[in-house]
């Protein structure tokens, strides 16, 4: 089951707000914590952030409804990402 500690959430959210990215790539999205965080920033800042995630586990994608959180969900093994999709990029990439 995906898990992400909340210890640095406020710091990460502040960094994402200050950076003002237009496109964020979340590699290994898990439960979609950062996608939700980005959606909250979109609402508070009244601006669009394109949210793309890469998740290898189809069960995780379906269980956490990642297609409702992210603008684009890529079902793919992140270990092969650079070799197979070298043009996939963003203003900020998140990887845990």
> Partners of 55 in the beta sheet?
75
- Give 96's pLDDT tier (boundaries 50, 70, 90): confident
- Closest C-alpha to 21, from 47, 46, 40: 47
**Each residue of 37-46: pLDDT tens digit?**
999 999 999 9
Sign of the Cα pseudo-torsion (63, 68, 70, 74, in order)? positive
- Give 2's pLDDT tier (boundaries 50, 70, 90): low
Q: Where are the domains of the chain?
A: 20-83
- Give 3's pLDDT tier (boundaries 50, 70, 90): low
> What is the structure's pLDDT at 8?
87
Average pLDDT over every residue of 50-66: 97
What is the reported pTM?
A: 0.90
């Amino acid at each position: 089951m995906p898990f992400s500690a909340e210890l640095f959430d406020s710091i990460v959210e502040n960094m994402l707000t200050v950076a003002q990215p237009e496109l964020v790539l979340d590699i290994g999205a898990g439960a979609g914590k950062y996608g939700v965080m980005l959606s909250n920033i979109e609402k508070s800042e009244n601006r669009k952030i394109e949210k793309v995630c890469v998740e290898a586990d189809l069960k995780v994608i379906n269980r956490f409804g990642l297609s409702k959180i992210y603008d684009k969900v890529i079902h793919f093994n992140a270990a092969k990402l650079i070799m197979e999709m070298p043009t996939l990029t963003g203003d900020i990439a998140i990887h845990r």
